[in-house]
Amino acid sequence: MVLNAEKKETKKTIYTPDLATITQVKELTPTEKQFTIELDDVHKRKEFSFEPGQFVELTVFGLGEAPFSIPSSPNNKENFELCVRKIGNVSNALHNMEPGAKVGIRGPYGKGYFPYEKMQGKNVVIVAGGIGMAPVRSLLKVILEDRSSYNDFTLIYGCIDPNNILYKQEIEELKKSNDIDIKLTVDNPDDQWDEHVGVCTNLIPDLDYSPEDTFIVVCGPPIMYKFVILELEDKSFKPENIFLSLERRMECGVGKCNHCHIGNKLVCVDGPVFSLWEIRNLKEAI
């Protein structure tokens, strides 16, 4: 006799993650690691597609889930990367994992992404602070992979100190090309540092782009947004052309639990990327 419990198949819900394998782990800074992740199911791997700015929910089995943006190029169909800062339960457990380890993946999630199609033919400026580089790297890659479709391209990237710069080697390589103008700045320089010192806001007044033809993308710690926006508005950049990736404590990722609401918006489904025009009147947004 087959017991009922044995007959019963595990019922899949919207919260059931897909099994995936960590195929590579790379240390980016003393606190951040890059994980390359491959979905185990070949069909799901081929179907998995995302837009720059979207995120996944990652499960460390037996411990919990956390949302992470996808910093790799959507054009890579075999696997995707995550950049994870060691901060708490899930991220610490991930940092202890080696290639071959299994995790769960739900997503990609978020209807609000960086609208790269709209940016074609225009100038693009990315302003990133600290780990804010992770969500915008996907957009950076999309633009560089189709560079001739865009006009001028600038990255302003600020970190606490040179050791905290993410994707340092990649940035050094890019600096040698004519594809992008990169301005780096740190709060605490060391003896070798020969670039800007201070917050990334200081570099905005020197931007020499017409507000009509320029899209701005901002991602970084909450404190950065207020000051960056003031500078951008001072230069008359248009709120509908400024895109910000917002981060809120999130549980479900699919618009059910309401943990991540800002006014009438949910960061998980309406965002995480919003135009300044969409959120400028929402009190707790910035």
Ligand X SMILES: Cc1cc2nc3c(=O)[nH]c(=O)nc-3n(C[C@H](O)[C@H](O)[C@H](O)COP(=O)(O)OP(=O)(O)OC[C@H]3O[C@@H](n4cnc5c(N)ncnc54)[C@H](O)[C@@H]3O)c2cc1C
Beta-carbon contacts of residue 285 (< 8 Å; ≥ 6 apart): 246, 262, 263, 265, 274, 279
* Residue nearer to ligand X on the CB measure, 87 or 197: 87
CA torsion through residues 179, 185, 191, 194, sign: positive
x-or-dash string of contact with ligand X, 235-274, rule CB under 6 A: ------------xxxx---------------------x--
Among 39, 66, 244, 279, binds ligand X (CB under 6 A): 66
Give residue 205's Cα distance to chain centre.
25
Applying CB under 6 A, the span of 72-80, 82-90, 119-127, 189-197 interacting with ligand X comes to 82-90
Judge contact between 241 and 214, C-beta under 8 A. Answer: yes
| Number of residues near ligand X (by CB under 6 A) | 21
- SS3 for 140? helix
In angstroms, give the least distance from the CB of 273 to ligand X.
9
Identity of the residue numbered 200: C
- Contact status, residue 1 vs residue 46, Cβ threshold 8 Å: no
Smallest gap from Cβ 135 to ligand X, in A, equals: 6
89 near ligand X (CB under 6 A): yes
Question: Which window, 59-67, 112-120, 193-201, 275-283, contacts ligand X (CB under 6 A)?
Answer: 59-67
List contacts with ligand X (CB under 6 A).
55, 64, 66-69, 83-85, 87-91, 131, 134, 247-250, 272
